[in-house]
Amino acid sequence: MFILKRQDVEITGIQHPKTGQQIPILNYQGQTFRLINVFSAQQADEARAFWRDLTDNRGKACVLLEETDRYSVWGKIRLDQLTEDAHGGVAAAPLYTQACLLMLQAVFFDIEDLLGNRQASSFEKDIAETFKKWRFPQAESPDAVNQLLNMDPLGGAQVPSWQEHHLNTLLQELYRLGKAYFGNTSFVERALDILEDMPSGERKQFRDWLGQSPLGEMWSLS
CA angle 14, 142, 159 (to 5 degrees): 60
Lowest mean pLDDT segment, chosen from 14-28, 120-134, 178-192: 14-28
The three-class DSSP label of residue 35 is: strand
Is residue 113 pLDDT above 90, yes or no? yes
Q: How far is CA 113 from CA 47, 66, 79, 81, 108, in A?
A: 34, 39, 47, 47, 9
Specify the pLDDT at position 107. 97
Specify the pLDDT at position 206. 92
Specify the pLDDT at position 89. 41
Instruction: Provide the b/e sequence for 174-202 (b: ≥16 CB within 10 Å).
Output: bbebbeebbeeeebbebbbebbeebeeeb
* Residue among 18, 51, 13 at smallest CA distance from 34: 13
Is residue 87 pLDDT above 50, yes or no? no
What is the DSSP code (8-state) at residue 67?
A: -
Average pLDDT of 173-194?
Answer: 93
* Residue among 132, 131, 171 at smallest CA distance from 43: 171
Q: Starting at the earlier edge strand, list the strands of the sheet with 62-66.
A: 2-5, 62-66, 70-76, 31-40, 22-28, 10-15
The three-class DSSP label of residue 87 is: coil
Residue 18's pLDDT band (cuts 50, 70, 90):
low
Could you report how far apart the first and last alpha carbons of the chain are, in Å?
33
| Cα(1)–Cα(23) distance, integer angstroms | 22
Is residue 88 pLDDT above 50, yes or no? no
Average pLDDT of 115-142?
Answer: 92
Specify the pLDDT at position 17. 57
C-alpha neighbours within 13 Å on the C-beta side of residue 60: 24
Q: Is the pTM higher than 0.75?
A: no
Average pLDDT of 129-152?
Answer: 90
Is residue 136 pLDDT above 50, yes or no? yes
Is residue 131 pLDDT above 80, yes or no? yes
126 dihedral zone (left: phi>0; alpha: psi -120 to 50; beta): alpha
